[in-house]
Amino acid sequence: MRQIVLDTETTGLSAENGDRIVEIGCVELVGRKLTGNNLHFYLNPERDSHEDALKVHGISNEFLKDKPKFSAVAGELLDYLQGAELIIHNAPFDVGFLDKELELIGHKPIRQHVASVTDSLMMAKEMFPGKRNSLNALCDRLEVDNSGRTLHGALLDAELLADVYINLTRGQNSLVMDVGDTSHHDNADPSIDLGKFELPLLLANDQEIADHERLLADIDSASKGKTVWRVVAAGMSATLVEKTI
Alpha-carbon span 45 to 71, nearest angstrom? 11
DSSP string computed for 4-41: EEEEEEESSS-TTTT--EEEEEEEEEETTEE-S--EEE
**Exposure class string for 75-98: b at 16+ Cβ within 10 A, else e:** eebbebbeebbbbbbebebbbbbb
In the chain, the amino acid numbered 83 is: G
H/E run at residue 192: strand 191-193
Alpha-carbon span 245 to 242, nearest angstrom? 5
Within 10 A of 65 (CB to CB), how many other CB atoms are there?
Answer: 9
Q: Do β-strands 21-30 and 2-10 pair in parallel, antiparallel, or remain unpaired? A: antiparallel
The catalytic position among 57, 89, 113, 152 is 152
CB 195 within 8 A of CB 175: yes
* Contacts (Cβ under 8 Å, ≥6 apart) of 55: none
Catalytic status, residue 113 = no
Active-site residues, by number, are 152
